[in-house]
Amino acid sequence: MGAAQAAVEVAPGATVEIVSPGAVALHCGALDVHGALALLGGSVEGAGDLAIAVGASVAVTTGTLEVGGSWSNAGSFGAGAGTIAFSDGCSSAPAVLTGANAFHHLVLTSAAGRSFVFPPGADTTVSGSLTLAGTGGTPIQVESSGGGDATIALGPAAWRMQTNAHVAADVHFTGGAAPGAPANVVATPVPGGGQATVSWSAPAISGGSAITGYAVTGSPGGSCTAGPADTSCLVAGLTNGVAYTFIVAASNDSGPGTPSDPSSPVTTQGAQAITFPNPGSQTFGTAPVLSASATSLLPVAFASVTPAVCTVSGSTVTLRASGTCTIEATQPGNPAWAGAAPVQQSFPVQAIAPGAPTGVAAVPGNAQASVHWSEPAANGGGITGYAVQAVQDPARTCAVAPPLTQCTVHGLENGRTYTFTVRAINDAGGTGSAPSSSVTPLADAKAFAAESPTGTGSVSVSVAGGGACAFERVQLLPAASASTPLPLGLELPHGLLDFVLHGCDATAVTVTVAYPSALPQGVRYWKLHGGAWAPFSGAQASPGATTAMLTLYDGGPGDDDGVPTPNGRIVDPGGVGAMAAGGAASIPALSPWALALLALLLGWRGRRRLRSGGRV
């Protein structure tokens, strides 16, 4: 604290006016007023003790009078609209305020927990504001000097701001303004609906007396009250789905204060729950229908968590594979209802046996065949594998897992003709396909040799030309196995040669057949074409020879696959044959031009006979 300066006296009969912006600094010197002191917007700074003598006057019309010691008024004091401010600058001793004092703004502050003492019965009033503030770590003390209670009367518009200040029980405040408006009003809906918690901060200005409570008012309805130390309360009985705002007003002895600004709108929502029974185990191929309900009675939506196993549209589930299907039920809520917690149910999807593979085909190789197919339309909930088996030798197999649709069967006998079946498999079993077309594995895909079914010896067959044309299937069969019986009297001494060529282009293909013995008289190469037997004009087969040579074209002469255009394959069942003695006359193999010429000649001779009266 600064050293006290010499006292300053306003002499009897003297008048001192301090006009704005004038300021007088007393540096803690006492201010003794025996005449008249008037502050007209100016200020007195750092006065020590202030004493107003009998018959003297102090008027603070505007401006500030700062006092660091005590205040003694035996004369006249007029507060006007000015401020009397007590501070620590000159003394830490208790500041005693005596006399009849009508302050406008009275400020009692200290950083050191100083005491401010009001004698019992002192006539102290405040018409503007009373500030009680400890600016340090220790609260200021407001107390009576003993022997009775001290009262500070606040005017009807006066307010008291109290921060870090302890007011003794023997000091009382009367009158004063109502509290200021609470701040930071926030409304928060309570889970479950129908209620909201409203919170706030206490007013910066408590008014002329301590706050006695708070009242919360909602719009369009709802209210609650709280005690003076509370900063929140619960508003019940709200209607879910309706937006509410809330204001808060503090009260003190002077009544309710200024209401707060409204809170932001808040809407309460009821709580709801979903009941979703587990559909139980399902079999692939069925379409289970789901059922679920919400306590709000709002509709429940379904979605698949495992779309590879199942999907859902509306409440109907489509099972796409075997496995575990998980469905989630949701209800998002509406303005009156909060969204429900999702509920999931999982259930097994049992596989059924898949359908049969289709389009089974084979390509021969050296002691092997490559088999390929298309997956079945009905997979039974998921195919786990394919098993391929040779019909003529069930021990010859191969197997693959999806997505493969091809595998190679090894260990086949070259020169033997095979067909194959494919079985689609899963946990529920499997279904086999129809047999593939026949194929004949060969060491050389352009050469074949086998014993004739008639026992005449070994017959060898070779193919040349036609690009990459090679045997897909080739076999020697008894003549009786032909799909169409042979003409009466026709014999095939070396059996039926049945072959299919693949990989052919549109150029000529030459097939050479070597027989174990000379061909008989009347021999022709007979072919089954379009379901009928006839000699083939594209063949060279002569009595006494041991070979026959066929010239074939894909989609043309010699191709019996029923496709009139090139498709890479030539089908040719046939063989060298001759009519047995006494059998039907041999049928010449005439070309279409020869047949047309014969018809013209027969017609011409018929017309001549009619002209000559029937003579030939």
Q: Which of 406, 432, 458 is the last residue of a domain?
A: 432
pLDDT-derived band at 581, boundaries 50, 70, 90: low
Question: Is it the case that residue 72 has pLDDT exceeding 90?
Answer: yes
The CATH number covering residue 425 comes to 2.60.40.10
Q: Which of 175, 206, 228 is the last residue of a domain?
A: 175
**DSSP assigned state of 481:** G
Q: Do 462 and 557 lie in a common domain?
A: yes
Domain membership of residue 615 (yes or no) is: no
Residues 120-133 have a mean pLDDT of 90
Q: What is the pLDDT of residue 592?
A: 41
Domains held by the chain: number: 5
pLDDT-derived band at 610, boundaries 50, 70, 90: very low
Q: 281-339, pLDDT tens digit by residue?
A: 999 999 999 999 999 999 999 999 999 999 999 999 999 999 999 999 999 999 999 99
Residues 237-255 have a mean pLDDT of 94
Q: Do 458 and 554 lie in a common domain?
A: yes
Q: Do 417 and 369 lie in a common domain?
A: yes
Domain membership of residue 313 (yes or no) is: yes
Q: What is the pLDDT of residue 229?
A: 95
C-alpha distances (whole Å) from 405 to each of 418, 424, 574 are 19, 10, 34
Domain membership of residue 437 (yes or no) is: no
Q: What is the pLDDT of residue 607?
A: 41
Question: Is it the case that residue 591 has pLDDT exceeding 60?
Answer: no
Domain membership of residue 455 (yes or no) is: yes
Q: Do 460 and 559 lie in a common domain?
A: yes
- The end-to-end CA distance of the chain, in Å, is 168
Considering Cα of 517, then 518, then 523, then 524, what sign does the dihedral take? positive
Q: Do 325 and 397 lie in a common domain?
A: no
Q: Do 20 and 162 lie in a common domain?
A: yes
pLDDT-derived band at 3, boundaries 50, 70, 90: low
Q: Which of 267, 300, 323 is the last residue of a domain?
A: 267
Residue in the block written with tokens 């003694």: 72
Q: Do 74 and 149 lie in a common domain?
A: yes
Domain membership of residue 12 (yes or no) is: yes
Q: Do 110 and 70 lie in a common domain?
A: yes
Q: Do 169 and 191 lie in a common domain?
A: no
Domain membership of residue 316 (yes or no) is: yes
Tokens of 78: 């007029």
Q: Which domain holds residue 242?
A: 183-267
Q: Do 222 and 336 lie in a common domain?
A: no
| Whole-angstrom distance, CA of residue 67 vs CA of residue 103 | 14
Q: What is the pLDDT of residue 266?
A: 96
Domain membership of residue 21 (yes or no) is: yes
pLDDT-derived band at 9, boundaries 50, 70, 90: very high
Helix, strand or coil for residue 49?
coil
Domain membership of residue 307 (yes or no) is: yes
Q: Do 334 and 402 lie in a common domain?
A: no
Q: Do 488 and 580 lie in a common domain?
A: yes
More confident residue, 417 or 594: 417
